[in-house]
Amino acid sequence: MRIIVVCGAGASSTFVAHRLRMRARERGLQVDARAATESTLADALADADVLLVGAHLAGSAERIRTLAAEASVPFAMLPESAAADDGGAALDLAISSAGVGS
């Protein structure tokens, strides 16, 4: 599963993507989690299975949701705690949003 994590400048999304990969490895899942910025999002959505968006981008959510819909990529907002989380909650959100296992 390819997961794109987007935030404003890419710093917090890099941490979240790294933690997602670690949790996925622990669970025996093959996950390609990558960070993106708003400015690189359109290209990053190619071949993505799910888009996770940082809570601080709530003001841009509709525009980002539209980009994701145009690329046929499921969209989910991360909780505010995601940047400090161990990646487990973000991985669970990505799996449920992508419809994996359902």
Q: Which residue, 87, 102, 6, is CA-closest to 48?
A: 6
For residue 84, what pLDDT is reported?
79
Residues present in the chain in total: 102
For residue 11, what pLDDT is reported?
64
Band the pLDDT of 9: cuts 50, 70, 90: low
Of 42-51, 76-85, 87-96, minimum mean pLDDT range: 76-85
Q: Which residue, 30, 33, 2, 6, is CA-closest to 17?
A: 33
Number of structural domains found in the chain: 1
pLDDT (tens digit per residue) in 53-66? 988 888 999 999 99
Owning domain of residue 25:
2-98
